[in-house]
Amino acid sequence: MSQEERETTNRPSVTISLICGAIAGAVAKTTIAPLDRTKIYFQVSNTRGYSFKSALKFVKFTYQQHGFLALYRGNSATMARVMPYAAIQFAAFEQYKHLLRVDLHGSKTPGRRCIVGSMAGATATCLTYPLDTAKARLSVSTKQEYNSLASVFIKTYREGGLRILYRGLYPTLLIIYKEETGQPVTSPWRMLFGAFAGLIGQSSSYPLDIVRRRMQTGRIPTWQGPFNALISIYKTEGLKKGLYKGLSMNWVKGPISVGVSFTTYEYVMEFIKSLS
């Protein structure tokens, strides 16, 4: 058997890679869930000033007043989204790759592959977006307002139908990047470079993330579009205290998420291999 044939034989199947990626994504997102909730809490407010000290105060207050699990409010929506997002993204990627004739007959078409990756991410985002809205609303609310994931959908739908559940989709599509979910990370070097590139990408598009979260949670009037919202936030709150509020939290949780995802993926893959 040739070396190429051995590599093909040892390569994990698509299904196993998808499962490992989804589990890795779920564990990573659960690990950083308290940090994510804290970031969103400050992002959606135009009055709360952000700093690491104030973030720690929020975590301490939430724990003392509502208990440990309150730090994970919104994570149920994230967990419900992980597997569908990964599956849709993969399936869409394969369909678009065939449609746009990517890497046909062994030829390399990196430009088309990049386009296909973005299209697949956009498709998965559109189909699972209401769960992201639910996550944001749970993160900035109490049990009195929403006592479950189902209650978020019911109450939000009653506010204005699907239109409300999809508020903020446009800025979200502008900041799509390749998530770890369902994407195997094959080496520590790839992990490090991916984390670095991810931090740069997230930092450059962070103002759109501020707008997205405020639109999702109803902090921006329904008549105001994303670009008008950007201008309004800049004029009233500025760059550091407005459009880039909470960015440093991304710098903390980003490397943690990538590291946990990489480690979990490797352990789960090894465990599945040991079973066979």
Tell which wins on pLDDT, 29 or 10: 29
Instruction: Tell me the pLDDT band of 182, cut-offs 50, 70 and 90.
Output: very low
Residue 160 has pLDDT above 80, yes or no: yes
Q: Are residues 204 and 147 in the same domain?
A: no
Q: Are residues 81 and 155 in the same domain?
A: yes
Residue 195 has pLDDT above 80, yes or no: no
Q: How many CA atoms lie within 13 A of 114 on its CB side?
A: 3
Question: In this structure, is residue 28 part of a structural domain?
Answer: no
Q: Are residues 159 and 206 in the same domain?
A: no
Looking at the structure of the chain, the number of domains it has is: 2
* Radius of gyration, alpha carbons of the chain: 20
pLDDT of amino acid 259: 86
pLDDT of amino acid 62: 95
Nearest Cα neighbor of 135 from 250, 52, 29, 243 is 29
Question: In this structure, is residue 81 part of a structural domain?
Answer: yes
Residue 6 has pLDDT above 70, yes or no: no
Question: In this structure, is residue 173 part of a structural domain?
Answer: no
Instruction: Tell me the pLDDT band of 189, cut-offs 50, 70 and 90.
Output: low
Q: Are residues 155 and 224 in the same domain?
A: no
Q: Are residues 91 and 154 in the same domain?
A: yes
Q: What are the tokens at 92?
A: 């869409």
Q: Are residues 194 and 160 in the same domain?
A: no
Each residue's pLDDT tens digit, 204-228: 889 999 999 999 999 998 889 999 9
Residue 3 has pLDDT above 90, yes or no: no
| Location of structure tokens 């992990």 | 191
What is the distance between the alpha carbons of residues 58 and 34, in angstroms, rounded to a whole number?
10
Tell which wins on pLDDT, 11 or 130: 130
Range of the domain at 139: 77-166
Question: In this structure, is residue 200 part of a structural domain?
Answer: yes
Residues 6+ apart with CB under 8 A from 136: 40, 44, 74, 213, 216, 217
Question: In this structure, is residue 8 part of a structural domain?
Answer: no
The pLDDT mean for the chain works out to: 85
Instruction: Tell me the pLDDT band of 265, cut-offs 50, 70 and 90.
Output: confident
pLDDT of amino acid 110: 74
